[in-house]
Structure 1
Amino acid sequence: MTRLKLYTAIYVVLFVFATAQVVVEQSSGLAYWTAFWIIIGLSFVKALMVAWYYQHLKWEPRSVTFTMFVGLLAALALTTAAAYSIL
């Protein structure tokens, strides 16, 4: 039952972060790059939470966690490069 409560809490946090991303994207008062970095930051935290709990990296050896973290940074770099190519 404890895991169910933990996973439910994480799901709610992920839902709130996703909602915050939509609100930031829809707000016209923010500059493009400010909104961009807020959304990238929220996405990074969401990806870490998903990897840590739902992919069970919390209980894996550190080498597996490090490998996943390098992949996450590569995905972040590619996302940033794609955003620059849009302009």
Structure 2
Amino acid sequence: MDWKGYTLIYVVLFAFATAQAVVEFTGLVDSAYWLAFAVIMVLSIIKAVGVAAYYQHLRWEPRAVTYLVLGGTTAALALTAAAAYSIV
């Protein structure tokens, strides 16, 4: 991937981060908390997938490597959720 592609991905990530900040600071969080939470989470997932695919080069790796990373991520999320429930 050339520098134009990386620049485009960077601009998209920057736009999504700006959208997240706009959702946070416009007061949407106070009036419709779960809607704001959902928007921020969806944008965060899109950003994470973009970073993993392009900056960590998973897009061009064999699918087995991508599945290995997804399995590790799923396990980390499951352990985090279990730890969060055990605190309460």
CA–CA distance in structure 1, aligned partners of residues 54 and 24 of structure 2:
27
**Aligned partner of 1:25: which letter?**
E
Give the percent of matched residue pairs that are identical in Structure 1 and Structure 2: 61
Partner residue, 1:48: 49
Three-state SS of the structure 1 residue aligned to 2:2 is helix
Q: Which segments of structure 1 move beyond 2 Å, counting only runs of 4 or more?
A: 69-84
CA–CA distance in structure 1, aligned partners of residues 35 and 84 of structure 2:
13
- Shift of the alpha carbon at 1:26? 1.1
How many residues matched? 83
TM-score if structure 2 supplies the norm length? 0.77
CA distance 1:56–1:8, change in 2 (3 Å): same
- Shift of the alpha carbon at 1:69? 2.2
- Structure 1 unaligned blocks of 5 or more: none
TM-score if structure 1 supplies the norm length? 0.78
Moved more, 32-41 or 74-83: 74-83
- CA RMSD, Structure 1 to Structure 2 (Å): 2.6
